Amino acid sequence: MDTPQMPTEMPKLDDPRFFPVFEALPIKYKVNLAYHGTNDGRVYRPRAHWCFLGEIVQHSFFLRLSILVRDGNGKSIPITFYTSEHGSSLVRNGEVKIGYTAAVLYAEQHGFVDSTVGICQQALQTIKVFPVSMDGLMQLSDRLQKYATVDKDETTCHNCQRKAASLLRCAKCNLFSYCNKDCQVEAWHHKGHKADCKLLKDADFRSLLLLQWDCFQDFHQFSPRT
């Protein structure tokens, strides 16, 4: 089987076009032309994909799961689950932990009856919690820009920074580049690739890296929970 080609670019997880902070999100039930387009003047669909990211700072479960997250601007936002199982599957699977980052596809601002404004989460397929902080996620995004993309037919070794067209790729994540086994072992133990690689093998996280964000054809979804 042929080895997949290295991408020429990766999405930047702080790109406001596709990873907006809460105050930039569209308001539920209102057309926002920055996010929605129409061909007939009546039916509106997303122009592109977008995903809200927020680090969990608090969580509780009373009748339903509610998590408080902090976005890239430092604003605290409640995400309350109105799914059929009220968010219990996330708790049962151990996904909800302070310091982890929630990713919500096609998130919208929602006004609750108590006058708070947050995110009303109605579908499990559009939310995923990744076991990494927001800061850690942004640092990984920066590393992906540098070590998992091709520039002028060359890639850069994650360990020694050497640029060449003949570098090897990590056999586990198939993204980061290395000169040889010695460079890979050094980066695995001393430059954080052990933790990066675990996250990069997550199918849902990889799907965010491979999604063509500026070209909407259908709604993207995360993997079903068991």
**For the chain, what are the domain ranges?**
22-131, 137-200
pLDDT tens, per residue, the chain with 226 residues: 344 555 667 899 999 999 999 999 999 999 999 999 998 888 999 999 999 999 999 999 999 999 999 999 999 999 999 999 999 999 999 999 999 999 999 999 999 999 999 999 999 999 999 999 999 999 999 999 999 999 889 999 999 999 999 899 999 999 999 999 999 999 999 999 999 999 999 999 999 999 999 999 999 999 988 6
CB atoms within 10 A of CB 40: 6
Q: Per-residue b/e over 103-135, b at no fewer than 16 CB within 10 Å? A: bbbbbbbbeeeeeeebbbbebbebbbbbebebe
Q: Report the distance separating Cα 120 and Cα 143, nearest Å.
A: 33
Q: Hey, is 144 helix, strand or coil?
A: helix
CA 216 to chain centre: 17
Residue that is written with structure tokens 């990494």 in the block: 132
Superfamily of domain 22-131: Nucleic acid-binding proteins (2.40.50.140)
Cα 223 from Cα 196, distance rounded (Å): 20
Round to whole Å and give the CA distance between 74 and 61.
23
Instruction: Give the type of residue at 225.
Output: R
